[in-house]
Structure 1
Amino acid sequence: MSKQRKPRSQFAALPYRSVRDRLEVLLITSRETRRWIIPKGWAEKGTEPHDMAAREAFEEAGVRGRVAAAPYCTYRYDKRLTARQSVECHVTVYLLEVAQELEDWPERDERERRWLTPSQAALDISESGLVASLLRLGLPTGP
């Protein structure tokens, strides 16, 4: 499998909520492989990174809320583009405090979503670069 040399930038949202003093994060499935991931998308000129992350959370997970302007963490992963080509991606993650969970959203028929504790999400997430950041969310100093 060939890989492009320069990492591409993506921006992601890490949606979270508090339920009875317990923090939960929202994971979604990827469209093709059905792995558990967080909503993310390619950088776009003219769109602030945190706004891009919030837009992806709406389109892919059907949630809206308050997105932090400052990044929470970053990680890298290899995104498969075709059976023979992948690209390294550098992902900047923004926390998104969910205020609204929609019944209908653009990618509803293509994805599943699931609320989990940060430690449960760390076990299920397909992107290993996020594990430590998810576990850090579960600490008393949280978001």
Structure 2
Amino acid sequence: MPDGRIRQVAALVYRVKKQQTEILLITSRGTGRWVLPKGWPQVGKTFAHSAKAEAYEEAGARGDIAPFSVGVYRYEKHDMSEGECGDFVVDVFPMHFSHQEKNWPERGERRLEWVSVEECARRVEEPELKALIASFDPALVTLR
């Protein structure tokens, strides 16, 4: 990444119940903060498919992922090895939830909760992510 930031991908896993949009939040393994499933772009996969893989690995979530990001947010990580600081930029891909697997790689390592868009925006820490979530509208997502 040209500006020195490290790129990651995240899945904004959503479902619509009784005209209410709900977003799946998980806790981070280190600090227990509420976050979206996220991780590294995988070799040979698009950013969207990498995000979809993270949703499965971290939350057991399956569904259709949008090929286009709905935005990015930045954060800094200070708990890296040898006091390194990491500057990250995260591409966020909406994923329409279809079902949850019974078992997945990180099952039992995180808490998972379905919350409203408003509650989701309240719980995450990063200001750009709060804004991205607050403005999220599933009607604007194209899954093709």
Corresponding residue pairs, total? 138
Counterparts of 1:123 and 1:49, CA distance in 2: 26
Deviation at 1:42, TM superposition (A): 1.1
Counterpart selection for 2:26 from 10, 24, 28: 28
How far residue 119 of structure 1 moved from its aligned partner, in angstroms, is: 0.5
**Contact 1:136/1:142 (<8 A) preserved:** no
In structure 1, runs of 5+ residues without a counterpart are: none
Aligned sequence identity (%): 36
Say whether residues 1:16 and 2:14 are aligned partners. yes
Q: Which moved more, 1:39-48 or 1:8-17?
A: 39-48
RMSD across aligned positions (CA):
1.7
- The TM-score, its normalising length taken from structure 2, stands at 0.89
How far residue 82 of structure 1 moved from its aligned partner, in angstroms, is 3.3
What secondary structure does 1:69 align onto? coil
Instruction: Trace 1:1-143 onto structure 2 (pairs within 5 A).
Output: 6-80=4-78, 81-82=80-81, 84-137=83-136, 143=141
- SS of aligned partner of 2:135: helix
Stretches (4+) displaced over 6 A: none
Contact 1:37 1:127 in 2 (8 A): no
Give the gaps of 5 or more residues in structure 2.
none
TM-score (structure 1 length as normaliser): 0.89
Per-residue deviation, residues 6-27 of structure 1 (Å, max 9, x unmatched):
1111011000000111100011
Larger strand percent: 1
